[in-house]
A and B are shown apart, each in its own frame.
Chain A
Protein backbone atom coordinates (compact mmCIF):
# COMPACT_ATOMS: atom_id res chain seq x y z
CA UNK A 1 0.00 0.00 0.00
CA UNK A 2 1.27 3.48 -0.86
CA UNK A 3 1.37 6.28 1.71
CA UNK A 4 -1.26 8.23 -0.21
CA UNK A 5 -3.70 5.29 -0.14
CA UNK A 6 -4.62 5.77 3.50
CA UNK A 7 -5.56 9.39 2.76
CA UNK A 8 -7.53 8.39 -0.33
CA UNK A 9 -9.46 5.83 1.73
CA UNK A 10 -10.28 8.48 4.30
CA UNK A 11 -11.50 10.72 1.48
CA UNK A 12 -13.68 7.91 0.10
CA UNK A 13 -15.28 7.17 3.45
CA UNK A 14 -16.11 10.82 3.99
CA UNK A 15 -17.73 10.99 0.56
CA UNK A 16 -19.75 7.85 1.22
CA UNK A 17 -20.92 9.29 4.53
CA UNK A 18 -22.00 12.42 2.68
CA UNK A 19 -23.74 10.32 0.01
CA UNK A 20 -25.86 8.47 2.56
CA UNK A 21 -26.68 11.58 4.56
CA UNK A 22 -27.55 13.77 1.58
CA UNK A 23 -29.77 11.10 0.06
CA UNK A 24 -31.62 10.73 3.36
CA UNK A 25 -31.98 14.50 3.72
CA UNK A 26 -33.56 14.98 0.30
CA UNK A 27 -35.93 12.11 1.02
CA UNK A 28 -36.92 13.64 4.35
CA UNK A 29 -37.63 17.01 2.77
CA UNK A 30 -39.89 15.58 0.10
CA UNK A 31 -41.68 13.45 2.70
CA UNK A 32 -42.17 16.45 4.98
CA UNK A 33 -43.69 18.38 2.09
CA UNK A 34 -46.05 15.64 0.94
CA UNK A 35 -47.25 14.66 4.41
CA UNK A 36 -46.91 18.01 6.18
CA UNK A 37 -44.39 16.61 8.67
CA UNK A 38 -42.33 18.92 10.85
CA UNK A 39 -38.76 17.92 10.11
CA UNK A 40 -37.14 21.35 9.87
CA UNK A 41 -34.65 20.87 12.67
CA UNK A 42 -33.51 17.47 11.52
CA UNK A 43 -33.07 18.69 7.95
CA UNK A 44 -31.27 21.83 9.08
CA UNK A 45 -28.93 19.73 11.20
CA UNK A 46 -28.20 17.33 8.31
CA UNK A 47 -27.58 20.18 5.94
CA UNK A 48 -25.09 21.73 8.38
CA UNK A 49 -23.32 18.39 8.83
CA UNK A 50 -23.02 18.07 5.05
CA UNK A 51 -21.51 21.51 4.81
CA UNK A 52 -18.95 20.67 7.49
CA UNK A 53 -18.13 17.37 5.78
CA UNK A 54 -17.62 19.21 2.51
CA UNK A 55 -15.07 21.48 4.22
CA UNK A 56 -13.33 18.43 5.64
CA UNK A 57 -13.15 16.84 2.19
CA UNK A 58 -11.61 20.04 0.76
CA UNK A 59 -9.06 20.24 3.54
CA UNK A 60 -8.08 16.61 3.22
CA UNK A 61 -7.84 16.94 -0.58
CA UNK A 62 -5.53 19.94 -0.29
CA UNK A 63 -3.43 18.12 2.30
CA UNK A 64 -3.06 15.10 0.00
CA UNK A 65 -2.03 17.36 -2.88
CA UNK A 66 0.51 19.17 -0.70
CA UNK A 67 1.96 15.97 0.72
CA UNK A 68 2.04 13.65 -2.25
CA UNK A 69 1.74 15.76 -5.42
CA UNK A 70 -0.65 13.18 -6.86
CA UNK A 71 -0.87 12.62 -10.61
CA UNK A 72 -2.97 10.66 -13.10
CA UNK A 73 -5.88 8.67 -11.58
CA UNK A 74 -4.98 9.82 -8.03
CA UNK A 75 -5.15 13.45 -9.08
CA UNK A 76 -8.39 12.94 -11.00
CA UNK A 77 -9.90 11.13 -8.03
CA UNK A 78 -9.04 13.91 -5.59
CA UNK A 79 -10.31 16.64 -7.90
CA UNK A 80 -13.56 14.72 -8.46
CA UNK A 81 -14.00 14.07 -4.74
CA UNK A 82 -13.96 17.81 -4.14
CA UNK A 83 -16.63 18.33 -6.79
CA UNK A 84 -18.72 15.42 -5.60
CA UNK A 85 -18.58 16.64 -1.99
CA UNK A 86 -19.79 20.02 -3.20
CA UNK A 87 -22.68 18.28 -5.01
CA UNK A 88 -23.72 16.40 -1.88
CA UNK A 89 -23.61 19.53 0.22
CA UNK A 90 -25.87 21.22 -2.36
CA UNK A 91 -28.36 18.34 -1.96
CA UNK A 92 -28.50 19.21 1.74
CA UNK A 93 -28.96 22.88 1.01
CA UNK A 94 -31.81 22.31 -1.46
CA UNK A 95 -33.49 19.93 0.97
CA UNK A 96 -33.39 22.74 3.49
CA UNK A 97 -34.83 25.14 0.90
CA UNK A 98 -37.70 22.73 0.26
CA UNK A 99 -38.32 22.68 4.00
CA UNK A 100 -38.39 26.47 4.05
CA UNK A 101 -41.19 26.47 1.47
CA UNK A 102 -43.24 24.43 3.88
CA UNK A 103 -42.43 26.88 6.69
CA UNK A 104 -43.64 29.81 4.62
CA UNK A 105 -46.76 28.30 3.05
CA UNK A 106 -47.94 26.02 5.87
CA UNK A 107 -49.79 22.79 5.15
CA UNK A 108 -49.61 21.90 1.46
CA UNK A 109 -50.67 18.29 1.71
CA UNK A 110 -53.97 19.00 -0.07
CA UNK A 111 -52.27 20.26 -3.25
CA UNK A 112 -51.98 18.12 -6.38
CA UNK A 113 -48.60 16.42 -6.06
CA UNK A 114 -48.58 14.35 -9.25
CA UNK A 115 -45.75 16.20 -11.02
CA UNK A 116 -43.79 16.63 -7.86
CA UNK A 117 -43.97 12.97 -6.98
CA UNK A 118 -42.85 12.05 -10.46
CA UNK A 119 -39.94 14.51 -10.34
CA UNK A 120 -38.88 13.44 -6.87
CA UNK A 121 -38.91 9.78 -7.85
CA UNK A 122 -36.62 10.51 -10.76
CA UNK A 123 -34.37 12.65 -8.57
CA UNK A 124 -34.11 9.90 -5.95
CA UNK A 125 -33.19 7.44 -8.66
CA UNK A 126 -30.55 9.87 -9.98
CA UNK A 127 -29.08 10.30 -6.53
CA UNK A 128 -28.92 6.54 -6.01
CA UNK A 129 -27.37 5.97 -9.41
CA UNK A 130 -24.78 8.71 -8.95
CA UNK A 131 -23.76 7.22 -5.59
CA UNK A 132 -23.54 3.73 -7.07
CA UNK A 133 -21.59 5.08 -10.04
CA UNK A 134 -19.09 6.66 -7.63
CA UNK A 135 -18.71 3.66 -5.33
CA UNK A 136 -18.40 1.09 -8.11
CA UNK A 137 -16.71 3.37 -10.66
CA UNK A 138 -19.55 2.38 -12.97
CA UNK A 139 -19.46 4.13 -16.32
CA UNK A 140 -22.93 2.97 -17.42
CA UNK A 141 -24.65 4.19 -14.29
CA UNK A 142 -22.92 7.57 -14.59
CA UNK A 143 -24.13 7.91 -18.16
CA UNK A 144 -27.66 6.89 -17.14
CA UNK A 145 -27.77 9.74 -14.59
CA UNK A 146 -26.85 12.25 -17.25
CA UNK A 147 -29.70 11.06 -19.45
CA UNK A 148 -32.26 11.24 -16.62
CA UNK A 149 -31.43 14.89 -16.01
CA UNK A 150 -33.52 15.79 -19.08
CA UNK A 151 -36.63 14.14 -17.60
CA UNK A 152 -36.57 16.39 -14.54
CA UNK A 153 -35.89 19.44 -16.70
CA UNK A 154 -38.93 18.54 -18.82
CA UNK A 155 -41.23 18.21 -15.80
CA UNK A 156 -40.10 21.59 -14.49
CA UNK A 157 -40.44 23.35 -17.82
CA UNK A 158 -43.82 21.84 -18.62
CA UNK A 159 -45.00 22.87 -15.16
CA UNK A 160 -44.02 26.47 -15.89
CA UNK A 161 -45.74 26.35 -19.27
CA UNK A 162 -48.95 25.00 -17.74
CA UNK A 163 -48.96 27.71 -15.06
CA UNK A 164 -48.90 30.39 -17.71
CA UNK A 165 -51.62 28.69 -19.70
CA UNK A 166 -53.96 27.63 -16.91
CA UNK A 167 -53.78 30.66 -14.57
CA UNK A 168 -54.02 28.65 -11.32
CA UNK A 169 -56.57 29.69 -8.68
CA UNK A 170 -54.74 28.21 -5.69
CA UNK A 171 -51.59 30.34 -5.58
CA UNK A 172 -50.15 28.60 -2.51
CA UNK A 173 -50.11 25.27 -4.31
CA UNK A 174 -48.86 26.74 -7.58
CA UNK A 175 -46.02 28.81 -6.14
CA UNK A 176 -44.84 26.17 -3.68
CA UNK A 177 -44.87 23.48 -6.37
CA UNK A 178 -42.89 25.78 -8.67
CA UNK A 179 -40.26 26.41 -6.02
CA UNK A 180 -39.94 22.78 -5.04
CA UNK A 181 -39.79 21.58 -8.63
CA UNK A 182 -37.08 24.16 -9.16
CA UNK A 183 -35.09 22.80 -6.20
CA UNK A 184 -35.54 19.24 -7.43
CA UNK A 185 -34.38 20.32 -10.85
CA UNK A 186 -31.25 21.83 -9.26
CA UNK A 187 -30.62 18.63 -7.28
CA UNK A 188 -30.90 16.68 -10.54
CA UNK A 189 -28.32 19.02 -12.11
CA UNK A 190 -25.91 18.38 -9.26
CA UNK A 191 -26.51 14.62 -9.48
CA UNK A 192 -25.48 14.80 -13.11
CA UNK A 193 -22.39 16.85 -12.19
CA UNK A 194 -21.50 14.06 -9.77
CA UNK A 195 -21.92 11.58 -12.60
CA UNK A 196 -19.64 13.74 -14.76
CA UNK A 197 -17.03 13.77 -12.01
CA UNK A 198 -17.19 9.97 -11.91
CA UNK A 199 -16.71 9.83 -15.69
CA UNK A 200 -13.68 12.08 -15.28
CA UNK A 201 -12.18 9.72 -12.68
CA UNK A 202 -12.63 6.72 -14.96
CA UNK A 203 -11.89 8.14 -18.38
CA UNK A 204 -10.20 11.47 -17.77
CA UNK A 205 -12.69 13.15 -20.06
CA UNK A 206 -14.33 16.43 -19.31
CA UNK A 207 -17.61 17.24 -20.96
CA UNK A 208 -18.86 20.73 -21.57
CA UNK A 209 -21.61 21.57 -19.09
CA UNK A 210 -25.10 22.09 -20.39
Chain B
Protein backbone atom coordinates (compact mmCIF):
# COMPACT_ATOMS: atom_id res chain seq x y z
CA UNK B 1 0.00 0.00 0.00
CA UNK B 2 1.25 3.47 -0.91
CA UNK B 3 0.58 5.33 2.33
CA UNK B 4 0.57 9.11 2.30
CA UNK B 5 0.21 9.17 6.09
CA UNK B 6 1.56 6.56 8.46
CA UNK B 7 0.31 6.95 11.99
CA UNK B 8 2.46 5.30 14.64
CA UNK B 9 1.63 4.88 18.33
CA UNK B 10 -0.48 7.99 18.39
CA UNK B 11 -1.84 9.04 21.78
CA UNK B 12 -3.79 12.19 22.57
CA UNK B 13 -5.09 13.93 25.65
CA UNK B 14 -7.55 16.66 26.56
CA UNK B 15 -5.81 17.98 29.63
CA UNK B 16 -5.41 14.95 31.88
CA UNK B 17 -7.95 12.87 30.02
CA UNK B 18 -6.49 10.49 27.45
CA UNK B 19 -8.70 10.14 24.38
CA UNK B 20 -6.53 8.24 21.89
CA UNK B 21 -4.53 5.14 22.66
CA UNK B 22 -1.68 3.85 20.51
CA UNK B 23 -3.26 4.32 17.11
CA UNK B 24 -1.38 2.69 14.24
CA UNK B 25 -2.78 3.21 10.79
CA UNK B 26 -1.68 3.80 7.20
CA UNK B 27 -3.77 6.15 5.09
CA UNK B 28 -3.56 5.12 1.42
CA UNK B 29 -2.84 7.85 -1.14
CA UNK B 30 -5.59 8.86 -3.58
CA UNK B 31 -8.19 6.85 -1.72
CA UNK B 32 -11.03 7.69 0.64
CA UNK B 33 -10.59 6.44 4.17
CA UNK B 34 -13.61 6.68 6.44
CA UNK B 35 -13.45 6.71 10.22
CA UNK B 36 -16.52 5.41 11.98
CA UNK B 37 -17.38 4.77 15.60
CA UNK B 38 -19.80 5.87 18.33
CA UNK B 39 -19.85 9.44 19.64
CA UNK B 40 -16.89 10.17 21.84
CA UNK B 41 -14.74 7.35 20.45
CA UNK B 42 -12.03 9.81 19.40
CA UNK B 43 -12.55 9.91 15.64
CA UNK B 44 -12.66 13.71 15.39
CA UNK B 45 -9.66 14.02 17.70
CA UNK B 46 -7.82 11.55 15.51
CA UNK B 47 -8.62 13.61 12.42
CA UNK B 48 -7.41 16.77 14.15
CA UNK B 49 -4.15 15.07 15.06
CA UNK B 50 -3.42 14.45 11.39
CA UNK B 51 -2.92 18.15 10.69
CA UNK B 52 -1.72 19.15 14.17
CA UNK B 53 -4.92 20.95 15.02
CA UNK B 54 -5.61 19.07 18.22
CA UNK B 55 -2.62 20.55 20.06
CA UNK B 56 -4.07 24.06 19.63
CA UNK B 57 -6.66 23.42 22.35
CA UNK B 58 -5.54 24.53 25.78
CA UNK B 59 -3.90 21.71 27.73
CA UNK B 60 -4.19 19.31 24.81
CA UNK B 61 -1.29 16.96 24.20
CA UNK B 62 -0.22 14.51 21.50
CA UNK B 63 2.37 11.75 21.69
CA UNK B 64 3.46 9.54 18.83
CA UNK B 65 4.38 9.97 15.20
CA UNK B 66 2.58 10.75 11.98
CA UNK B 67 4.79 10.23 8.94
CA UNK B 68 3.68 12.32 6.01
CA UNK B 69 4.97 11.24 2.62
CA UNK B 70 3.96 14.31 0.62
CA UNK B 71 5.31 16.10 -2.42
CA UNK B 72 6.84 18.95 -0.45
CA UNK B 73 7.24 17.34 2.92
CA UNK B 74 8.53 13.97 3.97
CA UNK B 75 8.88 12.90 7.58
CA UNK B 76 7.25 12.94 10.99
CA UNK B 77 4.93 15.94 11.31
CA UNK B 78 5.39 15.81 15.10
CA UNK B 79 9.14 16.27 14.83
CA UNK B 80 9.95 19.29 17.07
CA UNK B 81 11.68 21.01 14.15
CA UNK B 82 8.53 20.96 12.02
CA UNK B 83 6.39 24.07 11.65
CA UNK B 84 2.76 23.06 12.32
CA UNK B 85 1.31 25.82 10.13
CA UNK B 86 3.20 24.44 7.15
CA UNK B 87 1.67 20.99 7.77
CA UNK B 88 -1.84 22.47 7.96
CA UNK B 89 -1.34 24.02 4.55
CA UNK B 90 -0.85 20.55 3.03
CA UNK B 91 -4.09 19.33 4.55
CA UNK B 92 -7.36 21.03 3.75
CA UNK B 93 -10.10 20.71 6.29
CA UNK B 94 -13.87 20.71 5.96
CA UNK B 95 -16.13 20.76 9.00
CA UNK B 96 -19.56 19.48 9.94
CA UNK B 97 -21.35 22.82 9.58
CA UNK B 98 -20.64 24.70 6.38
CA UNK B 99 -18.67 27.74 7.51
CA UNK B 100 -18.09 30.13 4.64
CA UNK B 101 -17.01 33.60 5.73
CA UNK B 102 -20.39 35.38 5.73
CA UNK B 103 -18.89 38.82 5.12
CA UNK B 104 -17.08 37.65 2.01
CA UNK B 105 -18.44 36.98 -1.44
CA UNK B 106 -18.54 33.52 -2.93
CA UNK B 107 -15.47 34.46 -4.96
CA UNK B 108 -13.50 35.88 -2.05
CA UNK B 109 -14.28 32.89 0.14
CA UNK B 110 -12.08 30.88 -2.17
CA UNK B 111 -9.58 33.64 -2.95
CA UNK B 112 -8.89 34.64 0.64
CA UNK B 113 -6.53 31.79 1.44
CA UNK B 114 -4.49 32.53 -1.65
CA UNK B 115 -4.28 36.23 -0.84
CA UNK B 116 -3.28 35.57 2.76
CA UNK B 117 -0.59 33.23 1.53
CA UNK B 118 0.93 36.00 -0.57
CA UNK B 119 -0.34 35.33 -4.07
CA UNK B 120 -0.80 38.75 -5.65
CA UNK B 121 -1.18 37.97 -9.34
CA UNK B 122 -4.90 38.61 -9.94
CA UNK B 123 -4.98 36.54 -13.09
CA UNK B 124 -3.51 33.58 -11.26
CA UNK B 125 -5.91 34.01 -8.36
CA UNK B 126 -8.83 34.16 -10.76
CA UNK B 127 -7.69 31.02 -12.48
CA UNK B 128 -7.36 29.09 -9.21
CA UNK B 129 -10.70 30.32 -7.86
CA UNK B 130 -12.58 29.35 -11.00
CA UNK B 131 -10.83 26.03 -11.18
CA UNK B 132 -11.53 25.25 -7.52
CA UNK B 133 -15.21 26.13 -7.88
CA UNK B 134 -15.37 23.92 -10.91
CA UNK B 135 -13.67 21.02 -9.18
CA UNK B 136 -16.10 21.42 -6.27
CA UNK B 137 -19.03 21.00 -8.74
CA UNK B 138 -20.19 24.50 -7.81
CA UNK B 139 -19.21 26.84 -10.64
CA UNK B 140 -22.26 26.20 -12.82
CA UNK B 141 -24.58 27.00 -9.94
CA UNK B 142 -22.84 30.20 -8.76
CA UNK B 143 -21.32 31.67 -11.90
CA UNK B 144 -23.90 34.47 -11.90
CA UNK B 145 -23.65 35.16 -8.18
CA UNK B 146 -19.89 35.11 -7.58
CA UNK B 147 -20.07 38.47 -5.84
CA UNK B 148 -22.99 37.68 -3.58
CA UNK B 149 -22.33 36.73 0.03
CA UNK B 150 -21.18 33.17 0.66
CA UNK B 151 -23.96 32.92 3.24
CA UNK B 152 -26.60 33.43 0.55
CA UNK B 153 -26.01 29.95 -0.86
CA UNK B 154 -27.97 26.84 0.17
CA UNK B 155 -26.46 24.54 2.80
CA UNK B 156 -25.17 22.08 0.22
CA UNK B 157 -23.71 24.84 -1.92
CA UNK B 158 -22.06 26.40 1.14
CA UNK B 159 -20.42 23.08 1.94
CA UNK B 160 -19.18 22.74 -1.63
CA UNK B 161 -17.88 26.31 -1.32
CA UNK B 162 -15.93 25.21 1.76
CA UNK B 163 -14.53 22.31 -0.24
CA UNK B 164 -13.55 24.73 -3.04
CA UNK B 165 -11.85 26.89 -0.40
CA UNK B 166 -10.05 23.85 1.01
CA UNK B 167 -8.73 22.68 -2.36
CA UNK B 168 -7.78 26.15 -3.64
CA UNK B 169 -4.40 25.98 -1.98
CA UNK B 170 -3.86 22.58 -3.57
CA UNK B 171 -3.45 20.48 -0.44
CA UNK B 172 -2.54 16.82 -0.71
CA UNK B 173 -4.95 15.57 1.92
CA UNK B 174 -8.52 16.60 2.62
CA UNK B 175 -9.69 16.02 6.19
CA UNK B 176 -13.44 16.04 6.54
CA UNK B 177 -15.34 15.98 9.79
CA UNK B 178 -18.89 14.81 9.10
CA UNK B 179 -19.17 17.10 6.08
CA UNK B 180 -22.74 16.10 5.22
CA UNK B 181 -24.41 15.66 8.60
CA UNK B 182 -26.12 19.06 8.30
CA UNK B 183 -27.29 18.46 4.72
CA UNK B 184 -30.36 16.89 3.14
CA UNK B 185 -30.04 13.61 1.15
CA UNK B 186 -29.80 15.32 -2.25
CA UNK B 187 -27.05 17.71 -1.15
CA UNK B 188 -25.36 14.79 0.62
CA UNK B 189 -25.40 12.70 -2.51
CA UNK B 190 -23.83 15.56 -4.51
CA UNK B 191 -21.02 15.90 -1.98
CA UNK B 192 -20.47 12.14 -2.00
CA UNK B 193 -20.15 12.12 -5.78
CA UNK B 194 -17.79 15.05 -5.51
CA UNK B 195 -15.57 13.26 -2.99
CA UNK B 196 -15.30 10.18 -5.19
CA UNK B 197 -14.25 12.49 -8.03
CA UNK B 198 -11.78 14.40 -5.86
CA UNK B 199 -9.88 11.31 -4.75
CA UNK B 200 -8.22 11.26 -8.17
CA UNK B 201 -6.26 14.29 -7.03
CA UNK B 202 -6.43 14.26 -3.26
CA UNK B 203 -6.31 11.78 -0.44
CA UNK B 204 -9.47 12.01 1.62
CA UNK B 205 -10.00 11.11 5.26
CA UNK B 206 -13.59 11.46 6.35
CA UNK B 207 -15.11 11.09 9.78
CA UNK B 208 -18.73 10.08 9.50
CA UNK B 209 -21.58 9.10 11.76
CA UNK B 210 -23.36 7.67 8.81
CA UNK B 211 -22.17 4.12 8.27
CA UNK B 212 -23.95 3.84 4.95
CA UNK B 213 -21.99 6.87 3.79
CA UNK B 214 -18.74 5.12 4.65
CA UNK B 215 -20.02 2.03 2.83
CA UNK B 216 -20.93 4.09 -0.24
CA UNK B 217 -17.81 6.15 -0.73
CA UNK B 218 -14.87 4.88 1.30
CA UNK B 219 -12.22 2.54 -0.08
CA UNK B 220 -11.03 1.78 3.43
CA UNK B 221 -12.86 2.05 6.70
CA UNK B 222 -11.50 2.33 10.21
CA UNK B 223 -13.64 1.52 13.22
CA UNK B 224 -12.70 3.24 16.47
CA UNK B 225 -14.04 2.56 19.94
CA UNK B 226 -13.11 4.16 23.27
CA UNK B 227 -10.06 5.87 21.78
CA UNK B 228 -8.68 2.74 20.16
CA UNK B 229 -8.52 1.64 16.57
CA UNK B 230 -10.43 -1.64 16.58
CA UNK B 231 -10.37 -2.58 12.94
CA UNK B 232 -9.14 -1.16 9.66
CA UNK B 233 -9.94 -2.91 6.38
CA UNK B 234 -11.10 -2.41 2.80
CA UNK B 235 -14.66 -1.11 3.13
CA UNK B 236 -16.36 -4.08 1.48
CA UNK B 237 -14.53 -6.43 3.83
CA UNK B 238 -15.33 -4.47 6.96
CA UNK B 239 -19.03 -4.32 6.12
CA UNK B 240 -19.34 -7.90 4.87
CA UNK B 241 -17.04 -9.89 7.12
CA UNK B 242 -15.68 -7.79 9.96
CA UNK B 243 -12.95 -9.64 11.82
CA UNK B 244 -13.59 -8.07 15.20
CA UNK B 245 -16.64 -8.86 17.31
CA UNK B 246 -16.91 -5.19 18.41
CA UNK B 247 -17.01 -4.02 14.80
CA UNK B 248 -19.68 -6.60 14.03
CA UNK B 249 -21.77 -5.47 16.97
CA UNK B 250 -21.41 -1.78 16.18
CA UNK B 251 -22.20 -1.90 12.47
CA UNK B 252 -25.15 -4.24 12.91
CA UNK B 253 -26.55 -2.03 15.67
CA UNK B 254 -26.23 -4.62 18.42
CA UNK B 255 -24.31 -2.20 20.65
CA UNK B 256 -25.37 -1.42 24.20
- A contact set with B: CB distance below 8 Å: 2, 4, 69-76, 203-204
CB-CB nearest in chain A for B212:
A69
B211 on interface, CB distance cutoff 8 Å:
yes
Q: Which residues of B contact A71 (CB under 8 A)?
A: 211, 215, 239-240, 251-252
Given A69-B212, A71-B211, A71-B215: A76 and B240 interface contact (C-beta under 8 Å): yes
A72 touches B212 (CB 8 A): no
1/0 contact string of B225-256 vs chain A (CB within 8 Å): 00000000000000111100001100111100
CB-CB nearest in chain A for B250:
A72
Q: Which residues of B contact A203 (CB under 8 A)?
A: 241
- B contact set with A: CB distance below 8 Å: 211-212, 215, 239-242, 247-248, 251-254
- C-alpha gap A69/B247 in the complex (Å): 16
- C-alpha gap A70/B253 in the complex (Å): 10
- C-alpha gap A148/B122 in the complex (Å): 78
Given A204-B240, A204-B241: A72 and B248 interface contact (C-beta under 8 Å): yes
- C-alpha gap A72/B255 in the complex (Å): 14
Q: Which residues of B contact A70 (CB under 8 A)?
A: 252
- C-alpha gap A59/B17 in the complex (Å): 50
- C-alpha gap A2/B250 in the complex (Å): 12
A72 touches B239 (CB 8 A): yes
The binding surface of chain B is classed by DSSP as: helix
Q: Which residues of B contact A73 (CB under 8 A)?
A: 248, 252
The residue in A70, A72, A74 that gathers the most chain B C-beta atoms within 10 A of its C-beta is A72
Q: Which residues of B contact A75 (CB under 8 A)?
A: 239-240
- C-alpha gap A183/B248 in the complex (Å): 40
A72 touches B242 (CB 8 A): yes
A72 touches B251 (CB 8 A): yes
Q: Which residues of B contact A2 (CB under 8 A)?
A: 252-254
A72 touches B240 (CB 8 A): yes
- C-alpha gap A188/B74 in the complex (Å): 60
Q: Which residues of A contact B241 (CB under 8 A)?
A: 72, 76, 203-204
- C-alpha gap A69/B212 in the complex (Å): 8
Pull 9 A–B residue pairs with CB atoms less than 8 Å apart, ordered by A.
Answer: A69-B212, A71-B239, A71-B252, A72-B239, A72-B248, A75-B240, A76-B241, A203-B241, A204-B240
Q: Which residues of B contact A76 (CB under 8 A)?
A: 240-241
- C-alpha gap A162/B240 in the complex (Å): 47
Q: Which residues of A contact B254 (CB under 8 A)?
A: 2
Q: Which residues of A contact B211 (CB under 8 A)?
A: 71
Q: How far is the CB of A121 from chain B (nearest CB, A)?
A: 36
Q: How far is the CB of A5 from chain B (nearest CB, A)?
A: 9
B252 touches A74 (CB 8 A): yes
Q: How far is the CB of A163 from chain B (nearest CB, A)?
A: 45
Q: Which residues of A contact B215 (CB under 8 A)?
A: 69, 71
CB-CB nearest in chain A for B243:
A204
Q: Which residues of A contact B212 (CB under 8 A)?
A: 69
CB-CB nearest in chain A for B237:
A204
- C-alpha gap A174/B253 in the complex (Å): 57
Q: How far is the CB of A167 from chain B (nearest CB, A)?
A: 53
Q: Which residues of B contact A72 (CB under 8 A)?
A: 239-242, 247-248, 251-252
- C-alpha gap A7/B248 in the complex (Å): 19
